[in-house]
A and B are shown apart, each in its own frame.
Chain A
Amino acid sequence: MIGRTMSARTINFTLNGEAVSTTIEPHRNLVELLQRFDLFGARESCGQGLCGCCTVLVDGKAVSGCLYFAVWVDGKSVTTVEHFDGHGTLSNVQQAFIECGAFQCGFCTPGFVMMAHQLLKENSDPSEDDIRHYFSGNLCRCAAYPEIVEAVRRAAKAT
């Protein structure tokens, strides 16, 4: 048996456009890593990759932060919903969510906004069926689904 080192390791990555470095243990997930940078937009809710509340982008691809080892972002680029704070300017997706009233409590909204950006990047004119399939892993307990689908279509038109 080789020496067992559970110790934290140093990782370097780009976080919302800024080069950062930290030390973290292998058993921590990406949501826990982001909390160390005071980023709370990605929330661990179901903890099973089903609800989408912890959606973040790693090298431009959406992942569930709760099902992604923190050490795996070493050398990669991480984008969270805080990236869209835009210094006061809303993204087309955020604007459409407001115009359509696509939320009530707002807990799931960061995940939906991240996934909507990702969908529109892959498919600039998604059908309702495309949207519903893409969001099969995003849960809104307030059930604002019709408004969310409408918001994504509105954002697509505004793109």
Chain B
Amino acid sequence: MIPFEMVEPSSLQEAVGMLDPQDPAIRPVAGGTALMLMMKAGVFAPSRLVCLHRIEPRYSRIALTGSGELQIGAMATLSEVEHDANVAARLPALKRALRRLSNPRVRNVARVGGALAHGDPHMDLPPVLTALGARVTIVGPKGERVLPLERLYSGYYETVLEKNELITTATVPSLNGRKSAYMKVTLRSADDWPALGVAVSFKLQNGAIRDPVIVVSAATEKVTRMTSTEKVLQGAAPDDATLARAGDAAVAEASILADAHGSAAYKRELLRVYMRRAVRQALADDAQRVQS
């Protein structure tokens, strides 16, 4: 890696002040696992990294609110989320996703805020947390704003964050009986980047799917909510015919890209199959115990 400057502010406000909205060579760094890969590959050469390790410890906290929402501080490591008792008890799809997210060393270092802000469509947390209805709190020089996570992504490695804005918290609402699942397809090792990710959540009322949220990642340029597919599932019983229609709808709706993980045709077929499997996995949620 080529030399650069690293500054270590001791507060969030100070960190925001050290970023420059006009200068893409100045970036915040949380765990650095993704950023270092970009730097080693030569696609990113910073002049300055603003290290967030020394900001206030409250931004690393994971806490349950009185209304049952889980507030995950952006500087919490992925391991801390993985081993959090409330996550295990209340958000089984998130727990399961974390167990297969990269490997334990990366999870020990990578932070939630970085995983959300990086904008890499192959990452696991954005689709899972989008399907779970999460929102992010963002702080910049002008103050704070809150955004549904599904509105954070604007393109391939692109978000709506200004260069001097930082995510401080991801808030995940209570499932309230909703079923949820995330499935990904990796072609080589278990911890490989996925060719496809599908995240779903929905209510089941009198045998019918209600208020589904369907999210596709990895095969698309950004994490994408599948609203037409959701309409196919709304009010329908999750039988084989419905799931086949949902698979067809998702394939018609998603803009699937070819890359090293497979051709677009191959990934469309994966989506057709994994749309069905993800819904079935969510239905099996209650029956399955999440392994630690």
**Closest approach, in angstroms, between the C-beta of B32 and any C-beta of chain A?**
6
Given the contacts A61-B108, A64-B106, A6 and B99 also touching, CB distance less than 8 Å: no
* Residues from 247 to 292 in B contacting A, C-beta threshold 8 Å: 291-292
* Residues from 61 to 81 in B contacting A, C-beta threshold 8 Å: 79
Question: Residue A64 contacts which of B48, B79, B105 (CB distance < 8 angstroms)?
Answer: B105
Beta-carbon contact of B33 and A49 below 8 Å: yes
Count chain A residues whose beta carbon lies closer than 8 angstroms to a beta carbon of B.
Answer: 33
Query: B residues touching A (Cβ–Cβ < 8 Å)?
Result: 1-6, 32-33, 36-37, 40, 47-49, 51, 53, 79, 99-100, 102-106, 108-109, 189-191, 291-292
Question: Residue A26 contacts which of B6, B100, B109 (CB distance < 8 angstroms)?
Answer: B6
Beta-carbon contact of B47 and A4 below 8 Å: yes
Beta-carbon contact of A137 and B102 below 8 Å: yes
Beta-carbon contact of A118 and B104 below 8 Å: yes
Residues of chain B within 8 A of A67, CB atoms compared: 32-33, 36-37, 105-106, 109
Closest A residue to B191 by CB, please name it.
A136
Can you list 7 A-B contacts with CB-CB less than 8 angstroms, sorted by A residue number?
Answer: A63-B108, A63-B109, A64-B109, A69-B36, A123-B292, A133-B100, A137-B105
Chain A, 47-67, contact with B by CB distance < 8 Å: what is the 0/1 string?
Answer: 111101001000001111001
Bound form: Cα–Cα A92–B151 in Å: 51
Given the contacts A4-B48, A50-B191, A129-B291, A68 and B32 also touching, CB distance less than 8 Å: yes
**Closest approach, in angstroms, between the C-beta of B169 and any C-beta of chain A?**
23
Beta-carbon contact of B49 and A62 below 8 Å: no
* Residues from 96 to 121 in A contacting B, C-beta threshold 8 Å: 115, 118
Besides A27-B2, A137-B104, 12 other CB < 8 A contacts? A4-B47, A26-B4, A29-B36, A48-B40, A49-B102, A63-B108, A64-B33, A67-B32, A71-B6, A115-B104, A133-B99, A136-B103
Bound form: Cα–Cα A25–B3 in Å: 8
Query: A residues touching B (Cβ–Cβ < 8 Å)?
Result: 4-6, 25-27, 29, 47-50, 52, 55, 61-64, 67-69, 71-72, 115, 118, 123, 129-130, 133-134, 136-139
A-B contact count (CB 8 A): 85
Residues of chain B within 8 A of A55, CB atoms compared: 105
Given the contacts A47-B40, A72-B53, A26 and B106 also touching, CB distance less than 8 Å: no
Closest A residue to B6 by CB, please name it.
A26
**Closest approach, in angstroms, between the C-beta of B265 and any C-beta of chain A?**
28
Beta-carbon contact of B3 and A62 below 8 Å: no
Bound form: Cα–Cα A52–B108 in Å: 13
Bound form: Cα–Cα A64–B150 in Å: 31
Beta-carbon contact of A137 and B106 below 8 Å: yes
Beta-carbon contact of B106 and A61 below 8 Å: no
Beta-carbon contact of A27 and B4 below 8 Å: yes
